[in-house]
A = this chain, B = another copy of it.
Amino acid sequence: MNVLIVYAHPEPRSFGRALLERSVQTLQSCGHQVVVSDLYEMDFQPVATGGDFTERRFPDALQYDREQKQSSQRHTFVQDIQTEIDKLQACDLLILQFPLWWFSVPSIMKGWIDRVFVNGTVYGAGGMRFDNGGLKGRKAMLAFTTGCFPEMMAPDGLLGQRDVILWHLQHGTFGYAGLEVLQPFVGFSIQFIDDAQRHAQLDAYEARLRGIEHEPVMPSHPLADFGPDWRLKPDVEPRTAGHRRNSTKA
């Protein structure tokens, strides 16, 4: 497999960095090709602006997604975006690795998503999303560290259930783009564990990555499960963290 790891951490001596290095070594030793986009090291510019396009279809007022669509057709993205799009399209597996900040990715990684998951390539007109998304045929997973304890992400945990916390990333970003989603790797309570436990986390991540291409993907609903009203057809049982039967439905 070609694996793209997009990594964001402000500290090169962090435990996150150790996880990154272990993942690269492991995947390479299994024969995979690995490309890393280290966003802090790259000084990646995360703010979407009109300057992201070398020509503009609507120069008077920026419509960011419509400019993305034209730039997808005419290859008129600025170079830092096009480089990342090329890496994304070349991969079979995308891993986003980061410390969980405010239940999400750090700003620099959100900017990578905003600027690189472009209209016309990753999603777009003609129903290009979910199982018909521009990145279909590829897989993706989140790998993140957090100070919280596993019980806090239980269905009845303090922070809410894990896959609701991650819904905007696993469904709203990966799923929307057509990526099939693998279970996340979570490095829990890293401020509160000792070196032996940190090594155990590194080993656990390595063990997962050694079998990663054989892992089942998480459940999702194909577009065909939804009716013309954009809602699950009556005979389809909800099977994700974010869908449930609307009790008020006629």
Interface residues of A (CB under 8 A from B): 10-11, 13-14, 40, 46-50, 60-65, 101-108, 110-111, 113-114, 117, 130, 147, 149, 151-152, 154-161, 164-165, 167-169, 171-173, 176, 223, 226, 229-232, 238, 240-246, 249
Contacts and interface: CB of A to CB of B under 8 A. Distances in A.
Nearest to A115: B107
Nearest to A112: B107
Given A107-B110, A152-B230, A164-B167, 17 more contacts: A10-B64, A11-B62, A11-B63, A40-B47, A102-B117, A103-B173, A104-B110, A155-B244, A155-B246, A156-B244, A157-B230, A158-B230, A159-B176, A160-B167, A161-B243, A165-B167, A165-B172
B243 A155 contact: yes
Contacts of A238: 156
B111 A155 contact: no
6 contacts: A46-B46, A46-B111, A154-B231, A156-B232, A160-B242, A167-B168
B249 A156 contact: yes
B102 A113 contact: yes
